[in-house]
């Protein structure tokens, strides 16, 4: 059994997966409560399957980009499980997991994750690519700048919000298809399926050295107030 963990942003998720496919999934608005909520939700899914962490054979984790604090929660939890249980670790990019649910659309997929301060992490994926390599956009930029980089029909998904979805439609018209606010958010089951595929292909990471994909530098601490 594989457990998939994702605390990349304010949206978090956990899922269980085996050779039959998805077994259980939970996606929720975690805010900044990843540390308090992640393990209890994983344990809840395991109990629903009559299983415990001892039944896990592999752990998959969303590696980013995303929030600095959020990414560390899932990654440190995944590392602890893998080292404690002696099972493999598989890493999947957060944007790849976001795009995966839209792969049957037949056109490039622009997956986005909120980067804060009015900016987005974005990457363009080819739906024909089994390993989901980014084909165009990467990095962090405001939505208007990201839209200006596109050429041709594109499916948008991820953390656009209602205002962002409206801007995509206004800017690109019929060249853009925007997944609904529910359908467009990443799902832990997609992370689990990608993680299972990579594990079956022997693509495992070293729990001791795996690092999150931050893209941006961490924010500097606020200066201390004068005494």
Calpha distance 129→194 (Å, rounded): 12
Q: Provide the residue-wise pLDDT of the chain in tens; the chain has 227 residues.
A: 999 999 999 999 999 999 999 999 999 999 999 999 999 999 999 999 999 999 999 999 999 999 999 999 999 999 999 999 999 999 999 999 999 999 888 889 999 999 888 899 999 898 875 556 666 667 789 999 999 988 889 999 999 888 999 999 999 998 899 998 788 889 999 999 999 999 999 999 999 999 998 876 555 454 554 44
With H, G, I as helix, E, B as strand and everything else as coil, classify residue 107: coil
Residue 209 lies in a domain: no
Same domain, yes or no, for 109 and 153? yes
Task: Characterize the bridge pairing of strands 58-62 and 21-29.
Answer: unpaired
Nearest Cα neighbor of 157 from 127, 133, 130 is: 127
Same domain, yes or no, for 116 and 168? yes
Q: Beta-carbon neighbour count of residue 127 at 10 Å?
A: 16
Q: Is the C-alpha dihedral spanning 102, 103, 105, 109 positive or negative? A: positive
Calpha distance 105→76 (Å, rounded): 34
Calpha distance 227→217 (Å, rounded): 29
Same domain, yes or no, for 77 and 118? no
pLDDT, position 55:
98
pLDDT, position 69:
92
CATH code assigned at 60: 3.30.420.40
Range of the domain at 135: 102-178
pTM: 0.90
14 contacts: CB under 8 Å, gap ≥ 6: 3, 4, 5, 6, 25, 26, 38, 41, 42, 45, 188
pLDDT, position 137:
65
Same domain, yes or no, for 27 and 85? yes
Exposed, middle or buried by CB within 10 Å (0-12, 13-18, 19+), for 219? exposed
Contact (CB, 8 A) for 164 and 171: no
Say how many domains are in the chain. 2
Same domain, yes or no, for 8 and 88? yes
Residue 224 lies in a domain: no
């Amino acid at each position: 059994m594989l457990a998939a963990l994702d605390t990349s942003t304010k949206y978090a998720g956990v899922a269980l997966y085996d050779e039959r496919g998805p077994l259980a999934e939970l996606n929720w608005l975690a805010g900044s409560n990843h540390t308090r909520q992640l393990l209890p939700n994983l344990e809840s899914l395991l109990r629903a399957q009559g299983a415990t962490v001892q039944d896990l054979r592999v752990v998959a984790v969303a590696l980013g980009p995303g929030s600095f604090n959020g990414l560390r929660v899932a990654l440190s939890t995944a590392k602890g499980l893998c080292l404690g249980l002696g099972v493999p670790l598989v890493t999947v990019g957060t944007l790849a997991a976001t795009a995966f649910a839209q792969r049957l659309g037949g056109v490039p997929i622009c997956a986005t994750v909120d980067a804060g301060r009015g900016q987005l992490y974005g990457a363009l994926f080819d739906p024909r690519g089994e390993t989901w390599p980014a084909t165009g956009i990467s990095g962090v930029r405001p939505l208007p700048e990201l839209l200006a980089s596109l050429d041709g029909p594109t499916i948008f998904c991820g953390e656009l919000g209602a205002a962002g979805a409206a801007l995509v439609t206004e800017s690109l018209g019929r060249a853009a298809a925007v997944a609904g606010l529910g359908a467009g958010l990443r799902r832990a089951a997609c992370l689990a399926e990608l993680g299972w595929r990579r594990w079956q292909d022997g693509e495992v990471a070293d729990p001791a050295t795996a690092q999150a994909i931050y893209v941006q530098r961490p924010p500097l601490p606020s200066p201390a107030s004068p005494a």
